[in-house]
Structure 1
């Protein structure tokens, strides 16, 4: 049973600010699923979708950077 939740940031170069999200990873689903919630605007940023095969639970550790939907999430 692998369900992980992280507070993550994405640096938006256009707006020159860090955007804060909550990343949820559900490894129990087949395939693994992710979704993201925008903390500032209090709304869903990324609906529940299949996780890219390149992302594994071992990569989701504090301080690591992963690419989700062409965004560098830290």
Structure 2
């Protein structure tokens, strides 16, 4: 059985509660094309050489930064 490292710095912040999102998931949430997601400069995790994933919290922060009063 693989031992899980205890990370007290991450406890309680929900880091493992939400799975990483693909560009397609982000695009669906924002109502844009997946190709456009790569142009938005949302912080991402490079899983492999050509595989990127997005943290839901980073996507929410991007939306919050872009929110304006009407």
The reply to whether TM is greater than 0.5 is no
Larger strand proportion of the pair:
1
Larger RCO of the pair (alpha carbons < 8 Å, separation 6+): 2
Larger helix proportion of the pair:
2
Question: Given the two structures, how large is their TM-score scaled by the length of structure 1?
Answer: 0.26
**Greater gyration radius:** 2
